[in-house]
Structure 1
């Protein structure tokens, strides 16, 4: 952090407190509240300008997120649009793709040319691949004029971790991303059945077995179709697979690898072969339903309803569900397990992991960028976008922690539309000390690690046909293998590997290693 940085608190009209940073340096590591903390920000002047740019013509901006539309969207959007009309003379339209079929629908939007302006973008949605296909607007020369808050506050590291071929095609979140995979579970049931403390996936398996044997009215775990990865991910991380380094669901690389020497396709990886076999043994024991790949109900919903004894426990799953679970079941004790990579550290993702992009087809790209910037410039507006209306969708308890409104069992609004806009300069709530996230964040701060190859972005263009083909093979095999819903793991892996090779896997691997070595030589 550069010198001259001081923390202050800005009390906002909503009755919230936003933690922001004031700095004498515009490009500081933790930059100024002048743009981030003032609700006036760069609002539209009487002459209808934003940062000196004419915005006198009202425009409509269509915004697409992932995670599904929210029950209270219309009420929240009405309030959002009141502020955006004042700031950038924009009316926003919001839509969100359900998790159940996000991959196909997301790619269909990009390939069909639907007239959205802003869309969620991240490494795991193949932002680099889609950028090189021409899906997203190059924002490099637009930032200073149309996004003053972002230009002044985002750090050089943030940009470097999210640039594609040296250019800015997405606005990454500016936040401390907490990245772990694991589970929430019933601590009271763990104690009741004398299961050891859950510190590993083997312990999680023992817990699942105890539930299977003793709780006939619930299943140990009930994942939705889009959560097929939630058992596999913590298992392979614990065994040493590095996340956020290789293309998701295609390549594996081990924890201590600094040069790509352990790169392997999932169909060839010893870590994944072991994981698939263990997970199949759990599936055969009935730890989750056989029809999980057709289930549309997310695991945390089944958990809250008492139909399952665990749900997926990544940071945002806990953040969005813990309060609701405890309000519905104050007599429960909730525990959490979070996998460490190789048992050593929590993975710290690059900023390309989460963000928003403007479609190349947008007719109002400048105003779309201003809209993104305007939300970041105003703590009240940002909080409204992320959490909804205070007193209706959330409240703040006496300790400053976010809670549900009196008499409510659900928020009816989660910021799925704006999940690519996490922002550490605005912190309207204090951590709830009872939430598993409080302890996990403290531990994360001590052992989070950014791998050397975390900023490497593969350019699939030289092997685009082969890459598309192996991606299709991945989608065919990974979900069923990841939940052990196959008859014979060895046979399925052999078929998987055969189809990967036929699709051009060896050519992709050669190109991947070539680019990685070139990147390592420069970094």
Structure 2
């Protein structure tokens, strides 16, 4: 899951409720039959300009109530915030919103029930099994002509890749997020200790070695690198050159975001094998020098928790956790540094735009008005700030330096309208001011990453392993037994160990696995081309 849902909520999914039928509207188009045709010329909807949202200054817009289904639960100040939102919506497009929430713990059971009652809702958070649900007809197709007509702000804010991410068999069934959300992994380290021991700035993975040596020589109460086996393997991935693994699929395939072929790589590729050997040699050198744990499998505490406790000099996590780490470290008089994972060309990954988005019921009678509302909710800054942070002066304030801070008397632990806490995760974060805990280092680094961030299709591709599940099980067993020790630096001869690993993977069925994965990927890439 992507941030919003991903950052704050970890990983739950899906939900229920029975909403009353939407009020009748004469706002154009026969939405009740799920038609995807643009509204006829007889529609009473106003025509929007390219720079302004559609507005209810056209008195022909009949008032409607839009029924939205979000995930989570309404925060304490949610009703007050929505009252302000509804005042604005009624003035702008003569519509109000009625919210229903699906609790995170109920998503798997209740979300399908909501989809099974398409006449009871207008708009739903659509990023739950989006492709599968779209294919099954759970969401209404949304032609680009309608988006251009009713969503001018969204049209202006969204790039071609945004819409490409959301295509399912060449068609759109979601209004996805328009903002760039980084999908960048990062190494974090103690910048205060780097400065204390006069270690040169850490700008590349290779620069970590001098830092590790300084910690080994001077900090007897911590390991330079400590954490679980997976944490240590995360360090290994930083030395894989331009190869990156896909969303927790590092045991199945890797890819190069600068490679336009949209193919995955594995141990059948000589260049990949060479990179694997080189990374393995780095890890062996680190282990022999005492920089990483001798038995990482015995460590059950994550490197992030050990970092906060001052027990490790390095840990890995998503780059977007930088501000929180900076805040935690500053409270102890420490300073944090970050080394994001990018290719040799500086390419960073952004999450697919479908990470956060809204879909429309195929039975909604308020289809066009829903598009108009989403345009404002996601892209009009006044709505955006309300939905993200609450009421200015009460829930938040803008400081003299332009940064956003919590309102007077609000305790962070008891925030009545926490950021990301109300389920509005698709509103445009590029419009948000920096938060109070954002360091200049984070602000500058994030800006640089966003300038070089790309949405890479293989990163959002999911494998259907049914036709090679036996081979994949054998492959996974070999990886755990023979690849993990290489990644942890625990083999005597890296070249020999990797050659043996490749031979075992081929015997396990690697060729069949890679051939089928690339066949599926070719179809997936083709499905992202508009028809």
Q: Matched residues in 1 for 2:529 and 2:135: separation?
A: 23
Matched, 1:435 2:440: yes
Report the counterpart of residue 38 of structure 2 in structure 1. Answer: none
> C-alpha offsets along residues 346-382 of structure 1, whole Å, 9 cap, x if unaligned?
3254753643243879989959767644521553442
Q: Matched residues in 2 for 1:472 and 1:185: separation?
A: 36
Corresponding residue SS for 1:74: coil
Q: Matched residues in 2 for 1:81 and 1:493: separation?
A: 58
1:195 to 196, 199, 215: 199
Q: Matched residues in 1 for 2:505 and 2:457: separation?
A: 29
Report the counterpart of residue 28 of structure 2 in structure 1. Answer: none
Corresponding residue SS for 2:388: helix
Q: Matched residues in 1 for 2:480 and 2:421: separation?
A: 23
Q: Matched residues in 2 for 1:521 and 1:374: separation?
A: 27
C-alpha contact 1:188 1:334 (8 A) present in aligned 2? yes
Shift of 1:188: 1.4
Report the counterpart of residue 9 of structure 1 in structure 2. Answer: none
Structure 1: state its 5+ residue gaps: 1-24, 36-40, 98-104
Shift of 1:341: 0.3
> C-alpha offsets along residues 103-153 of structure 1, whole Å, 9 cap, x if unaligned?
xx98x569x8354774463xxx98556655667553337756876653565
Corresponding residue SS for 1:509: helix
- Report matched runs for 1:306-385 at 5 Å: 306-312=310-316, 314-322=318-326, 324-325=327-328, 327-329=330-332, 331-342=333-344, 344-347=345-348, 349=350, 352=353, 354-358=355-359, 372-385=374-387
Matched, 1:62 2:70: yes
Q: Matched residues in 1 for 2:479 and 2:395: separation?
A: 37
Structure 2: state its 5+ residue gaps: 1-47, 90-95, 116-122, 492-496
Report the counterpart of residue 506 of structure 1 in structure 2. Answer: 515
Matched, 1:182 2:186: yes
Shift of 1:193: 3.3
C-alpha contact 2:185 2:318 (8 A) present in aligned 1? yes
Shift of 1:235: 3.3
Matched, 1:415 2:420: yes
Q: Matched residues in 2 for 1:468 and 1:427: separation?
A: 45
Report the counterpart of residue 266 of structure 2 in structure 1. Answer: 265
Q: Matched residues in 2 for 1:188 and 1:404: separation?
A: 28
> C-alpha offsets along residues 366-425 of structure 1, whole Å, 9 cap, x if unaligned?
597676445215534423443456678765432112346688566853426658525266
- Residues 388/287 of structure 1: CA separation in 2 closer, same or farther (3 Å cut): farther
Report the counterpart of residue 139 of structure 1 in structure 2. Answer: 142
Report the counterpart of residue 15 of structure 1 in structure 2. Answer: none
Q: Matched residues in 2 for 1:350 and 1:219: separation?
A: 33
Corresponding residue SS for 2:82: helix
Shift of 1:251: 3.1
* CA radius of gyration, larger in: 2
C-alpha contact 2:170 2:529 (8 A) present in aligned 1? no
Shift of 1:340: 2.9
Shift of 1:94: 5.9
Q: Matched residues in 1 for 2:172 and 2:530: separation?
A: 20
C-alpha contact 1:185 1:335 (8 A) present in aligned 2? yes
- Report matched runs for 1:465-480 at 5 Å: 465-466=466-467
- Residues 74/283 of structure 1: CA separation in 2 closer, same or farther (3 Å cut): farther
Instruction: Kindly report the root-mean-square deviation, in angstroms, between the aligned alpha carbons of the 2 structures.
Output: 5.5
Q: Matched residues in 2 for 1:387 and 1:477: separation?
A: 48
> C-alpha offsets along residues 45-88 of structure 1, whole Å, 9 cap, x if unaligned?
999xxx947534x7462326xxxx9xxx6224344433455543
Normalised by the length of structure 2, the TM-score is 0.62
Shift of 1:189: 0.8
